[in-house]
């Protein structure tokens, strides 16, 4: 498990950029954190690191935004409005967890994967590579970012 303190939105963006440059096809990045913690800012950086130039915004109302044109495609899911795994399946979103061709980033990921590290391996269609990320608000500008990798 690794931790870092981001002292600004630009630092969060930069961390995401680094992760996007390192990303491989099939990666799932599972984000948890309160509203306004910086999850979407991190996704913007991941998109930038993948070489995606489209404007990235939160898919809170559409549930998923897909971005192409980079080194790998990016699917950005927001499960905030869905409370159970059954609702996620009913919305047709489980397909994004079944061996994605690009990178999938999931905000409010605990709604699908549960809150316990390792629980993702019990999810049907689990692709095998995940970075679990928790973002905590420390102050108005600082965020504690805790992350760990699991799977292949």
Q: What is the pLDDT of residues 20-31, one digit of tens each?
A: 999 999 999 999
Q: What is the CATH number of the domain that holds 117?
A: 3.40.50.300
In a domain, 3, yes or no: no
* The predicted structure's pLDDT at residue 128: 60
3 state SS for the chain: CEEEEECCHHHHHHHHHHHHHHCCCCCEEEEEECCCCCHHHHHHHHHHHHCCCCCCCCCCCCCEEEECCCCCCEEEEECCCCCCHHHHHHCCHHHHHCCCCCEEEEECCHHHHCCCCCHHHHCCCCCCEEEEEEEEECCCCCEEEEEEEEEC
4 within some domain: no
Q: How many domains does the chain have?
A: 1
Would you say residue 16 lies in a domain?
Answer: no
Q: What is the mean pLDDT of residues 40-59?
A: 95
Judge whether 114 lies within some domain. yes
Whether 12 maps to a domain, the answer reads: no
Q: Could you tell me the residue range of the domain that residue 52 belongs to?
A: 24-144
In a domain, 87, yes or no: yes
Q: Assess whether pLDDT exceeds 90 at residue 4.
A: yes
Report if residue 15 sits inside a domain.
no
pLDDT at position 120 is: 46
- For residue 28, is it within any domain? yes
């Amino acid at each position: 498990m690794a931790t870092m303190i981001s002292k600004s939105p630009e630092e969060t963006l930069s961390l995401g950029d680094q992760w996007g440059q390192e990303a491989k096809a099939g990666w799932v990045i599972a984000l948890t954190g309160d509203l306004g913690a910086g999850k979407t800012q991190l996704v913007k950086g991941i998109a930038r690191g993948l070489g995606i130039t489209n404007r990235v915004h939160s898919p809170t109302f559409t549930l998923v935004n897909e971005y192409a044109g980079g080194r790998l495609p990016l699917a950005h899911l927001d499960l905030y409005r869905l409370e159970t795994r059954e609702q996620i399946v009913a919305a047709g979103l489980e397909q994004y967890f079944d061996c994605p061709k690009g990178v999938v980033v999931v905000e409010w990921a605990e709604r699908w994967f549960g809150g316990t590290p390792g629980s993702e391996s019990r999810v049907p269609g689990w692709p095998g590579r995940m970075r679990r990320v928790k973002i905590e608000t420390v102050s108005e500008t600082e965020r504690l970012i805790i992350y760990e990798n699991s799977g292949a």
